[in-house]
Structure 1
Amino acid sequence: MKTANTLVAAFLLTAAPVLADTSYVNANGYTLDGGGSLQRFAVLVVGNDGRVKATLPAGAIPPRGKKIDVGGLTLLPGLIDAHGHVMGLGEGALAVDLNGTKSLADALAAIRANPGTGAWIKGSGWNQERWNLGRFPTAKELDAVTGNRPAFLERVDGHAGWVNSAALALSGITNATPDPAGGRIERDASGAATGVLVDAAMKLVTSKIPAPTTKEADLALSKALQIMGSVGLTSVGDAGMDRPTWDRYRRFARTGKLTTRIYAMAYGPENRAAIAPNGPIGWEYGDRLAMMAMKLQADGALGSRGAWMKSDYSDAAGQRGLPFFEEGNLRRMILDASAKGFQVNVHAIGDAANGAALGAFSATPEAQRMTLRHRDEHTQVVAVEDLPRFARLGIIASIQPTHATSDKGMAEARVGEKRLAGAYAWQTLIKSGAHIAGGSDFPVEPPNPFYGLHAAVTRQSRDGLPPGGWHPEEAMTIEQAFAAFTTGAAWANHAEDKVGTLEPGKWADFVLIDRDPFAAPASGLWQTRVDETWVAGKRVFRR
């Protein structure tokens, strides 16, 4: 027999109003469909669960419910950066920023003006190539603006550190200190450290820098999320993180503060085991967070001549870069992680590193490769004969288009014209059938995905150089570039059934922008302004 209380409860359940859909009307909408074809729409219908219910053409009558007029703005699926460094983005925004400096004098002035308040002076973004310095900067030059306070300033690519004399002393580096495996201490004729540490040698100093406090790290993550939302990024692949960072992401996700979806990659076997000892962690917290991949580094970067090349650098006889692992060891780590169900993503910039990564991937069983979708991160300088191997082996080419337009002059000097035939070869990879994922490698490059779209389509820097584009035969179409930053990146992040398009059932992650990238001149793509960013039907950024 029903009691009065159960009758009242039943009445309340049947009488409770059904939350209505929200229709975003008067939109200049674009999305790809399941087959990769570009589709247009005028109305986006979002359910109260934050998922897409429908896209409707112009003239269609939206369903009953709330309507938001977007005023004719272009509406796109949220952009996805397949390869960035989330904490690095936030930390860099809160430290000395040398990205805009055009000379050594500019950099020293910026450090003097904003040295921060911590025990160490920290920063990033310097690039001796942009300064036309013809060499690395020195500790003595840094001493002039830092005094006895230790300083560590990361190069723009994250593969070299500029330190002062106080930092060298604290780290105990002397003439007798050997170069560590996978690293190099820059030295003068007498063998003394000059103040730049390449790749693994940076650890000699960074191991002495106090870890950020919880408050400082939380502030950096909050800053990174704000920046990503402001440029229209709704999902990112975080290319290498540790257990404390994972714990922070989870805490933000639990409390509803993770406003960008993060596909986390554990940095190396140790972090993978510490974060996920029982196997990959799939998408959780409303598909805001996953850890299904391990990041490895096969080499360094071109700018610091750490990229591992098959033959000498064209501008440095006798130097071929820095392999981080013996090929057999790289293969064993990939095989072990694959057997445990993890995608493996290998940083590879030089042609030797790319060849080694492809060789190591080829040792894994084909069924594993196709299921796990292993990734080659950067895919910058590749031997021509290795390009078809990406499609054949099912390896994703995870590229960052702005690297090509930033690196073009330096790359020509480092590797020479002959080796450029397989460098930044995006159209060749696409035509071969390889999967392409777009990214930026922020904070090495700015996180703005419209910079990436511009670079991919024009092969020019944002000041329009060179005229006609750098090796324009490898440029993408705007549709291909759009796919790289949506469906391609979603596929690479094992999220193609969740995001990347605005098909029914997927999350309503979208952006409103001030121009039509499919109709506007390609030269102005980088100037696109993001007005609003929405994740799961909730606005996370408004200009």
Structure 2
Amino acid sequence: MRLPSAVFYQLLVVFLFMFSCSTTPKEEATLLIYGGPIYTVDSIQSTVEAVAVKDNIILFAGSLDEAEKFKTKETKLVDLEGKTMTPGLIEGHGHFMGLGYNELNLDLINTTSYQEIIDAVAEKVKTVEPGEWILGRGWHQSKWTVMPNQMVDGFQTHDLLSEVSPDNPVYLSHASGHAGFANAKAMEIAGLSILSKEGIDKFKVEGGEVMRDDFGRPTGIFNERAQTLITKHIPETTAERERKAFELAVAACQRNGITGFHDAGIGRETIALYEDMKTANKMNVRLYCMLTGWDEDLLTEWYEKGPLVDPDHTLTIRSVKLNCDGALGSRGAWLLEEYTDRPGHFGHETLPMPFVKETALNGLRNGFQVCSHAIGDRANKEILDRYEYAFEQLPDLTENHRFRIEHAQHLHPDDIPRFAELGVIPAMQAVHLSSDRSWAIDRLGEKRIKEGAYMWQTLLESGIPIVNGTDVPVEPLNPIASLYASFTRKSLNGMPDEGYEPEERMTREQALKSYTLDAAYGAFEEEIKGSITAGKLADFTIFNQDLMAIAEDEFLETKVLMTIYNGEIVYDKN
């Protein structure tokens, strides 16, 4: 039976209309990227040929033929020309304002001797007024190639520093941030010029140490919480200087391909600054912020009002940072057994463990993730114990807690499987191994190093993700160095040939995931970023060479060429 012509043509029009609707995308791309390897960190398709974006959202990731269906005359095209693209990198543990201030103050991170520090301060003295404070950060005595003649407990003394800066108070933070170095003028202002036995008792600080020579005189080194004896006398910064530091930090992130940043500990002044910057539309990096645990009143206020989960995904505050021990370099990390190179010394418990337990309970009750700094094996054990107690007390609130331990560098073997068992995320900065491993063995001895230090692969195999990063300004923000350390376990000069404890290195795929999707998971944000997947935010990093294929000895030559944030090119090296 033949259909009437009119009916036939009507059906044909309906069919063609339906067919065209099913094959023509409803959306139009504002940006189309193609022409090089694109690693998605998506479990369904690990690589794609092209990515189509509308405004700040990924429309499509797949073949170039399919992606081009989203293209219009107005679509901006980015031809990679053989370059490599990944999801936007996420700094999983850093100090955002510290990054900015490091560019304003003396940056000592590349100094290799005490003399270089003295020279840097001497030059700075020429440009400041008498009485003006000189501040800096980045020195690390264990990385010096030439050691000073006079040292006390492994640290330099202030005499040479004080000679070049008699009229200016100087305070130079250790690279770790867990110790500081003051000159005589700074100590005079703090009332610490001469410490009699009575004076020593007066200025003792729980959780810290004023280092002294054999005559009881302060050497200029202030460890852990003793730093406050000096820092409370440093004049407060100005609003203009704060804004400048913020802008410098944003620019540094963009140069390094960082589109997200986990800010590890901020106070009320910094919160106010960030809110102002967001209002002024200058928040061109996604900040995931941890409230500082030093301010109990601040925590109480936030417990009452609850987390801030920004619908724009630029400023989110939903976690608490607790500083529970010190750093290994300053021998402040809290250990189960004494330091190999300082018998009788176990490091410092810088925050009472009852407060950790209380905060873990409050975090669960009020919807806040708890992130605790722990480097030494005792600190890690004690924190895991307090977390476990809180989980047992409030089992109905633990389903998706995602509590973290920041650093988790040195673990007792018995505690390694507890991370996965308790669902506690280790946020570990791989580049610390490159910088620290050569001298860390002096602090811990071979047995503790091999059984529990930087246990990346063992933790991953146990079923828990690792959040990577640099701890900037402890280390430079450069993610290439941390990725290299992750899969080689070598120093940045390529030593040793086989890497330190090579069985614990990550694969390149694991390393990239730790800087993208796993970092997003560590901030409850894996549904909106961390992989190149349709529907997620359009944040990308473009490199000059293929991270997955380039020879190991050429990896550190990798450069960030372009950073795309929120669908916009915010950094272009060309």
TM-score (norm 2): 0.88
> Which residue is equivalent to 1:171?
190
Please list, as runs of the form range in 1=range in 2, the aligned pairs for 1:327-476 lying within 5 A after superposition: 327-365=353-391, 366-420=395-449, 421-476=451-506
Structure 1 counterpart of 2:87: 77
Aligned to 2:51: 44
Is the contact between residue 298 and residue 325 of structure 1 (CA under 8 Å) also seen in structure 2?
yes
What SS does the corresponding residue of 1:257 show, helix, strand or coil?
A: coil
State which of 152, 156, 168 in structure 2 corresponds to 1:149: 168
Please show how residues 74-473 of structure 1 align to structure 2 within 5 Å.
Answer: 74-115=84-125, 117=128, 119-131=132-144, 132-133=146-147, 135-173=154-192, 174-175=195-196, 176-178=199-201, 179-268=204-293, 269-274=296-301, 277-284=304-311, 286-365=312-391, 366-420=395-449, 421-473=451-503
Cα contact 1:241–1:266 (8 A) shared by 2: yes
Q: Is the 8 A contact 1:453 1:525 kept in 2?
A: no
Alpha-carbon distance in structure 2 between the residues aligned to 1:86 and 1:490: 17
Instruction: Specify whether residues 369 and 417 from structure 1 end up closer, same or farther in structure 2 by C-alpha distance, changes over 3 A only.
Output: farther
User: Structure 1 counterpart of 2:510, which letter?
Assistant: Q
Mean alpha-carbon deviation: is it higher for 459-468 or for 324-333? 324-333
Distance (whole Å) between structure 1 residues aligned to residue 222 and residue 552 of structure 2: 39
2:271 is paired with a residue whose SS is helix
Query: Counterparts of 1:20 and 1:304 in 2: how far apart (Å)?
Result: 53
Letter in 2 for 1:177: I
Q: Quote the residue 2:569 is aligned against.
A: 539
Partner Cα distance (1:70, 1:418) in 2: 48
Is 1:243–1:274's contact at 8 Å kept on the other side of the alignment? no
* Residue-pair matches, total: 523
Deviation at 1:470, TM superposition (A): 0.8
1:166 alignment partner, SS class: helix
Q: Are the structure 2 counterparts of residues 105 and 95 from structure 1 closer, same or farther at C-alpha, using a change threshold of 3 Å?
A: same
Match of 2:35 among 1, 10, 26: 26
The letter of the residue matching 2:128 is: T
Percent identity of equivalent pairs: 34
Q: Quote the offset at 1:341 in angstroms.
A: 1.2
Is the 1:246–1:275 Cα contact (8 Å) retained in structure 2? no
**Cα distance in 1 between the residues matched to 2:245 and 2:94:** 15
| Cα deviation, residue 29, structure 1 | 0.8
In structure 2, runs of 5+ residues without a counterpart are: 1-26
8 A contact 1:369–1:395 mirrored in 2: no
Deviation at 1:47, TM superposition (A): 0.7
- Give distance in 1, aligned partners of 2:324 and 2:399: 21
For 1:422 and 1:439, the matched residues in 2 are separated by 20
- Letter of the aligned partner of 2:239 in structure 1? T
**37-46 or 408-417, which moves further after superposition?**
37-46
Amino acid at match of 2:179: A
Cross-structure match for 1:57: 63
Deviations 1:366-423 (A, max 9, x none): 4534412000000001001100000000000100001111111221000101111111
Contact between 1:243 and 1:275, CA under 8 Å: does it hold in 2? Answer: no
Structure-2 separation of matches of 1:463 and 1:104? 22
CA contact (8 A) 2:359 2:370 kept: no
How far did 1:246 drift? 0.9
Counterpart secondary structure, 1:362: helix
| TM superposition shift of 1:69 | 2.1
Name the CA distance, whole Å, in 1 between partners of 2:488 and 2:431: 11
Aligned mates of 2:213, 2:331 — CA distance in 1: 17
Q: Distance in 2 between matches of 1:91 and 1:450?
A: 22
Deviations 1:309-342 (A, max 9, x none): 0011000011000012332332122212321111
Rounded to whole Å, the distance in 2 between the matches of 1:210 and 1:61 is 56
Q: Secondary structure at the match of 2:155?
A: coil
Q: Aligned partners of 2:65, 2:534: CA distance in 1, in Å?
A: 19
Q: CA deviation at 1:531?
A: 0.8
CA separation of 1:111 and 1:53: change in aligned 2, threshold 3 A? same
Moved more, 63-72 or 375-384: 63-72
How far off its partner does 1:537 sit?
A: 0.3
Between the aligned partners of 1:274 and 1:216, the Cα distance in structure 2 is 27
How far 1:22 sits from its partner (Å)?
A: 2.0
Asked whether the equivalents of residues 38 and 479 of structure 1 are also in contact (C-alpha less than 8 Å), the reply is no
Mapped contact 2:381–2:415 kept (Cα < 8 A)? yes
Q: Please give the secondary structure, in 2, of the residue aligned with 1:172.
A: coil
Secondary structure class of the residue paired with 2:400? helix
Root-mean-square deviation (CA, aligned residues, Å) is 1.7
Which residue of structure 2 aligns with residue 484 of structure 1? 514
Which secondary structure does the structure 2 equivalent of 1:256 belong to? coil
The structure with more radius of gyration: 2
With over 3 angstroms needed to count, the CA separation of the structure-2 counterparts of 1:142 and 1:276, relative to structure 1, is farther
Distance 1:20 1:458 in 2: 39
Q: List runs of 5+ in structure 1 lacking aligned partners.
A: 1-17
